[in-house]
Amino acid sequence: MIGTNPRRAAASVAAALLLAGCGNTASPAQTSPSDAVTGGITVLAAASLTDAFQAIATDFERAHPGTEVTFSFGSSATLATQINQGAPADVFAAANEPTMRTVTDAGAAQHPQIFVTNTLEIAVPRSNPGNITGLADFADPAKKIAVCAPQVPCGAAAQRVFAHAGVTARPDTLESDVKALLQKVQLDEVDAALVYHTDVVAAGDAVEGITFAAARTAVNRYPIATLTGAPNPGGAAAFVDHVLSPLGQARLDKAGFARP
């Protein structure tokens, strides 16, 4: 299971910060190419990356004065459509590989790299009003159950784990994104929803997570790539490097993502 120990994550952030600091003072020659990185960088990223990427952008802007990272967070499929329609952006980070493939197939991005993975987890309201214990409860028609629609990535993943666990889910609603699921859990309107581990981490105290074995069968791999039409290709490459760096990975660890 992808349990994140907050203390371990904090320690790795500190270690990475230390390393980054050492790098800057010890070898000034190495920083000179990055000093050329400047200007605005537009990053389109899957909504689940919101918190981690904002922290990463703060680190990045500190490491590269004169840069300004602007985000557009949303459904990966919507962002991919915007990119293929010519949206001016530098970097794309998607929540799954098929979505990235629609962009690379259109020639709008090249050489995507997998930078994190994410697994499904059961989210219940803090008091667990439905007494949910595991995936089998999703078959109980008496419980209010929310999952993603099969047409969107989180729904496709949900179908895979249900099939693997032999559970015939009886959902009351098929939402079009994870945030909509999580909102209904936070408002105590559903007994359980199938979301990502990172969503449970981001929701804090309002939501409790329950892990289950079948989650292993549907791991989402997140690719990141610079866009071929990037107005700021230097900045785009530097941002992708930063996400893949130990410091970037530490921020992603803290948000609950796992290493690929």
Who contacts 65 (Cβ-Cβ below 8 Å, separation ≥6)?
none
Cβ closer to other proteins: 164 or 170? 170
Can you tell me which residue has the tokens 């990975």?
249
Residues 40-79 that bind other proteins (CB under 8 A): 75, 77-78
Distance from C-alpha of 244 to C-alpha of 260, rounded to nearest angstrom = 11
Burial class (CB in 10 A: 0-12, 13-18, 19+), 215: buried
Taking the complex as a whole, the smallest distance from the CB of residue 54 to other proteins amounts, in Å, to 22
User: What binding mask, one character per residue, do residues 185-224 give for other proteins by CB under 8 A, x or -?
Assistant: --xxx-----------------------------------
Site size for other proteins (CB under 8 A)? 21
Taking the complex as a whole, the smallest distance from the CB of residue 210 to other proteins amounts, in Å, to 20
Closest CA to 219 of 6, 35, 1: 1
C-alpha 115 chain-centroid distance:
10
Distance from C-alpha of 250 to C-alpha of 243, rounded to nearest angstrom = 9
Cβ closer to other proteins: 114 or 174? 174
| Binds other proteins by CB under 8 A, chosen from 43, 91, 152, 243 | 152
Distance from C-alpha of 137 to C-alpha of 212, rounded to nearest angstrom = 12
Cβ closer to other proteins: 153 or 234? 153
By CB under 8 A, is residue 123 in contact with other proteins?
A: no
* Cβ neighbours around 28 below 10 Å, total: 10
Cβ closer to other proteins: 2 or 94? 94
| Binds other proteins by CB under 8 A, chosen from 90, 121, 137, 175 | 175
Q: How many residues does the chain have?
A: 260
The contact set with other proteins (CB under 8 A) reads 75, 77-78, 81, 144, 146, 149, 151-152, 171-176, 180, 183-184, 187-189
